[in-house]
Amino acid sequence: MTDRPTRALITGAAGQDGTYLTELLLSKGYEVWGVIGPEPGDYLSWAATQGEDLHPCEADLSDKDSLDRLIAEVVPDEVYNFAGISVVSMSWEHPVAVFDINATGVARLIESLREYAPDARLCQASSAEIFGHPAESPQTETTPIRPVTPYGSSKAAAHFLVENAREGRGMFACNAILYNHESPRRPSSFVTAKIAEGAARIKLGLASELRLGNLDSARDWGYAGDYVEAMWLMLQADKPEDFVLATGVAHTVREFCDAAFSHVGLNWEDYVIVDPEFFRPVDSQAPVGDATKAREALGWEASKPFAAIVGEMVDGSPVRLAGE
């Protein structure tokens, strides 16, 4: 045993979850290696403000050699896999690329860990999309997995690979079955960020309308900061298990619009236009998660109310920050 800080490796470190988790782990005295994706944005400048225990690095889930080199060098104690193509609509346009990164990439990562860091604990960012049209509501860790989108299928395959690693290889490998979780750091490719920024732009007089797809589409929306804490707790447990991470309450896109526009004193119905161009070929049916297991085993529960999350996203949108 060496007397060194706990080492964590985070793939997809430049994303919403990656940055929140990095901040959490650094506050706990970890050394963090953050794997930069192809579009890191301002991650490097942000990382430079986080202290000497954060080490930006490069690897690619489509290239096992790069994973081997990195894991052999770092020999992490904990690994959090957030890397992947996470926009569901893109999976219909590029299903092969999505499956290669989201599913086969996880197989590569597991093999690299098995070879070079067999004692590492792995948390895989799974998704409520694995349930597709759920057989029951709310969903739990035992709800049948039957995805209805290429994205959901890729996450389901990765989910099973993690189970295989745990049960067949004896690895400490867990799936965090994540329901939608938001923050001001959410990329603009997500409808929630689009709505938040749209409300801010209209309030500032920079736009006059906001075009959206299905307003009846519903999701169980929580706060990203809460969810990364749950994933950390999963890797501190005595045994590896899968956990649903959710609020237990679904809200529609219409409700999200109402909360965002109300936050800036506007009526969303005066500005939102339904545009068929933004409808998905198939949409999951209002998934709602039951996080009872996480509450009882980890002492975790979602803490931030829906309206507060939406308000933070509006106030933290790029155009809002620039306008005030």
Give the residue numbers marked as catalytic: 127, 129, 151
N residues, the chain? 324
Cα separation, 6 vs 89, in Å, equals: 37
User: Is the bond into 138 cis (omega within 30 degrees of 0)?
Assistant: yes
By the 8 A CB rule, do 231 and 316 touch?
Answer: no
Contact 183, 313 (CB under 8 A): yes
Q: Angle 244-12-251 (CA atoms, 0-180°, nearest 5)?
A: 40
- Helix (H) and strand (E) counts for the chain? 13, 13
- Decide: 182 and 313 in contact? Cβ < 8 Å: yes
Biggest CA-to-CA distance, the chain: 64
State the Rg of the chain over Cα: 19
Q: 251 with 221: CB under 8 angstroms?
A: yes
CA distance 113 to 98: 22
Sequential DSSP letters for 145-198: P---SHHHHHHHHHHHHHHHHHHHH--EEEEEEEPPEE-TT--TTSHHHHHHHH
Beta bridge partners of residue 175, listed in sequence order:
124
Rounded alpha-carbon distances, angstroms, from residue 216 to 108, 135, 253? 38, 20, 6
> Cβ(108)–Cβ(64) under 8 Å?
yes
What CA–CA distance (Å, rounded) separates 130 from 246? 14
